[in-house]
Structure 1
Amino acid sequence: MCSVVGSFVRILILFAIGVVLLIVSIALNAATLSTINKRFDEIKNANGQTTVSIGSTTRTTTQPPSSSGNLTDSIRIADLMYHLNELQRIANDASNTRAIGTRGFSETVNYIYNYLAVNAPNLNVVRQPFLVKNFTVKGNPILILSSGGSNRTFTYSTNLARSDFTYANYSAPIALTEFNLTVVPNYGCDPADWQNVAGQAALVVLGGICTFAEKGELANKYNASALLYYNHGLTTASLAPVIARLRQVNTLPAVCLSYAAGQELVRAANMTSASIWLQIEIENYPPFMIENVCANTKEGNINETIVIGGHSDSVPAGPGINDNGSGAMAILVLATNLARLYQSGNYIKYKYRVRFCWWAAEEIGLVGAIYHAQQAQNSSAIIGNRLQDYLINLNYDMLGSPNYMLGVYNGSSAKPGTPPSARNGSIRISETFSSWFDRNNLPWDYTDFSGRSDYGPFLAAGIVAGGLFSGADETKTPEQRARYEEKLGLGQGGLAGAILDPCYHKACDTTDNINQLGYEKMVQAAAYMLEYLGRLDDLPTWLYPNGRQTTELPENYFPNSDYFRDVDS
């Protein structure tokens, strides 16, 4: 009895210690962000902003950007946060989301359009509508393994951590049907892997150099009857099932399993003849309309256009203030401030047209950016709206992560197949960004350039691309923390061992999730880049010194992104 009591006491003590450590961790995260933002306020006030105390609230007021200054100096955190607070208000009134198909998204698009119409009347602002497909899953999908004379029913839950499997987005519906089960060898990225799947349910592991959608296309091509992905289990983060997204034209019923469930199916298929029973009830809705928004300077050569873009939608789970309200509102401030400088009469206008764009539906597969790029390569596209008229695409997606890095897309890491002329120009953009951070004695890091955001289709079509990224679910290393603290000062390096944005794709991605110091520096870097490129005498030659190689974007182009690329699951 004493032994039992002692064991129980030890369990309680361990549980209490765990709770305390969790509370301390949360407190440290909050304290670090609070300290950084407090220090940032001190820096800003020392630089001449006015603080006004109203009761217990302190507000910082700013004046409109100086009409005789440069674009970089016009960037002020108060302007950026004003817009982010407006996005937060929109989300608050729309069930805490700005995802496509919701009131929150529609009001976000209207906010951008209307703000530009009032505050930047010298820009041409246009909406670009297009249709997207939507669906809902009715009831719970069913997956049963039949092997060795017994049946095993797998657990479905919307909580992926507790689920054995979940449906794939754009899965085809299927009534309860039995399929023989076969295992696809390797990662299923080679057509040779799919030679024996005809008429069967094909089980394939995540990973390799191909996307969910590319595996789905091979499954369709070689006449599989159903498609079952399973997670690879190479890390603790890759044990649960993930949301696989297929092309909207997919015709196969498809699900994604956890690592454990996948291994169970593999063993059953390899040891004896095994079959599965699968049911997925789906209600497809009529396609609905969403919109990109673009704003163009009236000045500058329309055949030589600088495109600045970022996505305007959030995920359904939250308001998306960092992802990607931070990028979208950075572009809004850049557009408005450049328009004001152009109106001042004291600012030399660029010889190149600038096009600011807010892409819709990035969160379901870069849909808005892909649509725009495909329309721009259409033979009916008018001069100024053709891909050949675009010199560069600069992308801003997540600029205010709380445990941030000052991340620069690394042009050298462009994926194989990128046209060499676009790759070389993209490297020059990376070097220009990093040089600005160096000159301003700021730390910075290179970040992956594999096509995971809206620049992807432009880069694939041979257009130089670049941009900034403050981090999502990456972890800050001790080396990063030390380097950032050395440059920014004691207490400014963030938390080593913590992810850069703990609210990534979550309900807590609110205005409280923004690191204002990092955010302002990122937008200042973006402003510098635009002004630097706009001032060059011969931007086409600077970007493409060996000539420009254009590549037609395939009709079925699908993004190599962290939502679709299996290896990142």
Structure 2
Amino acid sequence: MTAATRPRRSRVVAASTAGLVALVGSVLTAGPASAAPAGCDNRTNDSVEKLLECVTVEGVRAHLQAFQDIADAHDGTRASGTDGYDASVQYVADQAREAGLTVTTQDFEFPFFQLNSAAFAQTAPAEATYAVGTDFAPMTFSGSGDVTGTVVPVDLLLPSVGGSTSGCEAADFAGFPAGGIALLQRGTCDFGVKATNAAAAGAAGAVIMNEGNAPDRTELLEGTLGAPLAIPVVGTTFALGESLQNATVSLQVDAISENRTTTNVFAETAKGGGDTVLMVGAHLDSVPEGPGINDNGSGSASILEVATLMGKAKPTATVRFAWWGAEELGLLGSEHYVASLPEPERARIAGYLNFDMVGSPNFVRFVYDGDNSDAVGAGPGPAGSAAIEDVFEKFFADRGLASEGTDFDGRSDYGPFIAAGIPAGGLFTGAEGVKTPEQAATYGGTAGAAYDPCYHQACDTIANINDTALEEHADAIAYSTFTLASDPALITGAAPAAPSGPTGATAGGGGLAHDHGGLSS
């Protein structure tokens, strides 16, 4: 996304500004509290001021340490379908229940994938060994196998000008020799369709190369097949794929790829004065490679701390906190939940707040761009999303903290809610995207480095958390949750006024959001 100056609206929602100011009072000008007052766990935090007094980085870090301990005791991971994830579910449910919240769970079946090892080499007419993660990458849900065969091109578009249909139709494999390694090209249909057609035609394995337009001639293709497949399938660059035509290769993938059951966790405040629900969510699972303390222990721990401190509160709207399973495999938990909701239950949900990575070490304060005011990238969210964005922007602006927009690009759990027409918003501190010099000047940190250098890696431990980012965003979560639950009409009311004047942010779009791997071409 190109840099742009982000406009600020002069008021949150035209009909509701006075109510918002009354809720907040002067608490936002004082800065984050360094320690909670005595008795926070037992008192009724029935105002935004009281709640903000009690939310501390120490409280959030206690939950993060619990997640780290769980991962340490379970092979270093909290991925859905593992014992580490099940222990994380139990911890969240126990904490929420002890705080007086009503806890429920929702089990669902999902396709589980764990890569153990992979190797790829050309054996004839020349010999060459290829590096995993550089030259090739096993597709998520690849089958296991150790196969050797001739690379057979399937309906390739060479030279590539885009629009390849390679492997999308069974007819593409007419005359395909049994035991061959299918060479497929990105384009038009899902990777899983291409690989499934290859397996049905008798291929022992498949290599899917990138499409071939600049710059992806040398860009490694990584992706997901969407569901477990029987044969080994890897992605590679266009250049390497093109060079492998009719060569003999050996391909080995050792992976667990099967259907398993995992769990969403929900915790609700007591019903207030109406029938409206505000949902606040974060994904609880890590990737298999690590403990996932920033991604997304940070969001899970932050909403858990807010939830437990709201256990005795009765805001106007019921707050339903959600911890999603199997997000890292394609938003599966939130998709299952939204798809299972009867229409009357969907209609009760005023809005959804999403918190996926809020402690990135080289952070930026990204706010999801509910109204597409930067006019770049993805479009706006459903009506009401702009009002949610305004609440976050006001929180940061009243503290003199810069923030900037980031797209609803479908890479986190707001996606299914937006698709169902439910207003959404949230915060994000950055993943694998690279901090610009302008952002470094505004937020500090290191220009030219990733927002989170340990994204999706084993080093995403409790040492991978920026306490300043964590404290600021935990406070913003508490503030937005209580404010919108106390007055859900801020979401459902009149549209905000036209933007006027500059914001505290320096640059508009920036952060690549959280990547979960594309199913499609």
> What TM-score, normalized by structure 1, do the two folds share?
0.69
Residue number in structure 1 paired with 2:474 = 523
The size of the alignment, in residue pairs, is 458
Residue number in structure 2 paired with 1:17 = none
* Change beyond 3 A, Cα 1:483–1:151: same
Q: After superposition, where does 1:317-336 map in structure 2 within 5 Å?
A: 317-336=289-308
Residue number in structure 2 paired with 1:445 = 404
Structure 1 counterpart SS, 2:81: coil
- CA-CA distance at 1:468 after TM superposition: 0.4
Q: Which digits, 9 at most, give the CA deviation of each residue in 1:151-210, with x for residues without a partner?
A: 3455355x423xx323212235676554630354458767699577334535324xx8x7
Structure 2 counterpart SS, 1:87: helix
Letter in 1 for 2:485: G
Letter in 2 for 1:335: A
Matched, 1:229 2:208: yes
* Change beyond 3 A, Cα 1:189–1:520: farther
- CA-CA distance at 1:565 after TM superposition: 3.2
Letter in 2 for 1:127: T
Matched, 1:166 2:137: yes
* Change beyond 3 A, Cα 1:232–1:73: farther
Letter in 2 for 1:406: R
Residue number in structure 2 paired with 1:391 = 350
- 1:563 aligned to 502, 516, 519, which one? 516
Matched, 1:472 2:431: yes
Cα pair 2:150 2:247 within 8 Å, conserved: yes
* Mapped partners of 2:210, 2:379: distance in 1: 32
* Mapped partners of 1:192, 1:242: distance in 2: 15
* Mapped partners of 1:505, 1:136: distance in 2: 13
Cα pair 1:313 1:363 within 8 Å, conserved: yes
Q: After superposition, where does 1:200-219 map in structure 2 within 5 Å?
A: 201-205=182-186, 214-217=190-193
* Mapped partners of 1:252, 1:188: distance in 2: 27
Residue number in structure 2 paired with 1:42 = none
RMSD: 4.0
Cα pair 1:232 1:239 within 8 Å, conserved: no
* Change beyond 3 A, Cα 1:48–1:417: closer
Cα pair 2:435 2:446 within 8 Å, conserved: yes
* Mapped partners of 2:58, 2:258: distance in 1: 42
Letter in 2 for 1:197: D
Matched, 1:93 2:66: no
Residue number in structure 1 paired with 2:499 = none
> What TM-score, normalized by structure 2, do the two folds share?
0.75
Q: Which digits, 9 at most, give the CA deviation of each residue in 1:330-350, with x for residues without a partner?
A: 11011111114x1xxxxxx33
* Mapped partners of 1:255, 1:48: distance in 2: 50
* Mapped partners of 1:474, 1:480: distance in 2: 12
- CA-CA distance at 1:398 after TM superposition: 0.4
* Mapped partners of 1:363, 1:143: distance in 2: 29
Residue number in structure 2 paired with 1:494 = 445
Structure 1 counterpart SS, 2:430: coil
Residue number in structure 1 paired with 2:40 = 64
Matched, 1:433 2:395: no
* Mapped partners of 1:482, 1:417: distance in 2: 24
Q: Which shows bigger deviation, 131-140 or 393-402? A: 131-140
* Change beyond 3 A, Cα 1:301–1:260: farther
Residue number in structure 1 paired with 2:323 = 358
* Mapped partners of 1:463, 1:177: distance in 2: 50
* Mapped partners of 1:564, 1:187: distance in 2: 23
Residue number in structure 1 paired with 2:225 = 246
* Change beyond 3 A, Cα 1:275–1:561: farther
- CA-CA distance at 1:113 after TM superposition: 0.7
- CA-CA distance at 1:424 after TM superposition: 3.6
* Change beyond 3 A, Cα 1:441–1:103: same
Cα pair 1:418 1:460 within 8 Å, conserved: no
Matched, 1:313 2:291: no
* Mapped partners of 2:116, 2:482: distance in 1: 51
* Mapped partners of 2:216, 2:153: distance in 1: 27
* Mapped partners of 2:271, 2:415: distance in 1: 27
Residue number in structure 1 paired with 2:154 = 182
Q: Which shows bigger deviation, 429-438 or 391-400? A: 429-438
Q: After superposition, where does 1:67-78 map in structure 2 within 5 Å?
A: 67=45, 69-70=47-48, 71-78=51-58
Q: Which digits, 9 at most, give the CA deviation of each residue in 1:382-421, with x for residues without a partner?
A: x6xx33332221110000111110111122459999997x
Q: Which shows bigger deviation, 511-520 or 256-265? A: 256-265
Structure 1 counterpart SS, 2:107: strand
* Mapped partners of 2:294, 2:474: distance in 1: 13
Residue number in structure 2 paired with 1:512 = 463
Structure 1 counterpart SS, 2:453: coil
Cα pair 1:239 1:258 within 8 Å, conserved: yes
* Change beyond 3 A, Cα 1:192–1:137: closer
- CA-CA distance at 1:95 after TM superposition: 2.7
- 1:151 aligned to 125, 131, 134, which one? 125
Letter in 2 for 1:261: L
* Mapped partners of 1:537, 1:47: distance in 2: 25
* Change beyond 3 A, Cα 1:497–1:536: same
Cα pair 1:98 1:104 within 8 Å, conserved: yes
Higher relative contact order (CA 8 A, sep 6+): 2
- CA-CA distance at 1:294 after TM superposition: 0.5
* Change beyond 3 A, Cα 1:105–1:429: same
- 1:129 aligned to 107, 129, 146, which one? 107
Q: Percent identity?
A: 33
Higher helix share: 1
Cα pair 1:326 1:400 within 8 Å, conserved: yes
* Mapped partners of 2:495, 2:194: distance in 1: 36
Q: Which digits, 9 at most, give the CA deviation of each residue in 1:104-134, with x for residues without a partner?
A: 222111110111111x22x210111122333
- 1:297 aligned to 244, 265, 269, which one? 269
- CA-CA distance at 1:79 after TM superposition: 0.8
Letter in 1 for 2:104: V
- CA-CA distance at 1:137 after TM superposition: 6.7
* Change beyond 3 A, Cα 1:259–1:216: same
Structure 2 unaligned segments of length 5 or more: list them: 1-29, 177-181, 497-512
* Mapped partners of 1:402, 1:283: distance in 2: 31
* Mapped partners of 1:281, 1:517: distance in 2: 41
Q: Which digits, 9 at most, give the CA deviation of each residue in 1:2-60, with x for residues without a partner?
A: xxxxxxxxxxxxxxxxxxxxxxxxxxxxxxxxxxxxxxxxxxx998757xxxxxxxxx9
Is the radius of gyration larger for structure 1 or structure 2?
1
* Change beyond 3 A, Cα 1:245–1:333: same
Letter in 2 for 1:64: C
- CA-CA distance at 1:100 after TM superposition: 2.3
Letter in 2 for 1:365: G
Structure 1 unaligned segments of length 5 or more: list them: 1-44, 51-59, 269-273, 343-348, 485-492, 546-559
Q: Which digits, 9 at most, give the CA deviation of each residue in 1:515-561, with x for residues without a partner?
A: 1112111121122222222232635632899xxxxxxxxxxxxxx96
Letter in 2 for 1:523: A
